[in-house]
Amino acid sequence: PPPISRIVAAMFPEEMTRVDGQGKLPLHHAACRSWHAWDCPREDETSDSNSARLLTKESVSILKAAMDASSPMAARHADNLGRLPIHYAIATLTEASYGGGRSCTEHPVYDILETIQKFMRMHPESIQHYDPISRLPPFLQASAAASDHCTVKSDGF
């Protein structure tokens, strides 16, 4: 949960700079953490269970906490695949905006934009760093990932 991740980051700040065997920092892991249906409130105004309400916006809260606890150098750190945290975040956040399996009262776009803006403030040059998986710069990576979720009808619309 977000409060626990904040407490751990505050008590052990050196862990935010520890690289794992894949070359990832905690910021990489937070950026690629999947969002779930409970991350967004329901649009149809039906009640979620108490446990689901406790988890609302949990994934974005953990990512924001990791960003707050990380130095700007963490946003510049490429893992063993050559991916920056922003590359993972774009893939995860694009999936979240199209996934989830239900309509939400608040489209996650605002959280997504705020998160990407924060990554850009941490490492402005990342906009020019091509993702080694998609071989695209971040803005095109987001566009390509979004188009993967769009379907074209036989009439072209």
Q: How much of the chain exceeds pLDDT 90, in percent?
A: 39
Query: Does the structure show a pLDDT above 60 at 93?
Result: yes
Token reading at 81: 């695949």
Q: How far is CA 35 from CA 39, 55, 82, 94, 99, in A?
A: 6, 11, 23, 10, 8
Mean pLDDT across 46-58:
60
What per-residue confidence (pLDDT) applies to 7? 87
- Check if the beta carbon of residue 81 is closer than 8 Å to that of residue 64: no
What per-residue confidence (pLDDT) applies to 42? 57
- HSE (CB half, 13 Å, CA atoms) of 149? 16
Query: Does the structure show a pLDDT above 90 at 74?
Result: yes
What per-residue confidence (pLDDT) applies to 78? 97
What per-residue confidence (pLDDT) applies to 21? 97
Query: Does the structure show a pLDDT above 60 at 45?
Result: no
Q: How much of the chain exceeds pLDDT 70, in percent?
A: 68
What per-residue confidence (pLDDT) applies to 33? 85
Q: Which of the pair, 14 or 109, is modelled with greater confidence?
A: 14
Token reading at 14: 């050196």
The model's pLDDT over 21-33, given as tens digits with 9 standing for 90+, comes to: 999 999 999 998 8
What per-residue confidence (pLDDT) applies to 54? 54
Mean pLDDT of the chain: 79
- Check if the beta carbon of residue 143 is closer than 8 Å to that of residue 93: no
Mean pLDDT across 48-76:
78
In this predicted structure, which of 1-5, 13-17, 132-136 has the lowest mean pLDDT?
1-5
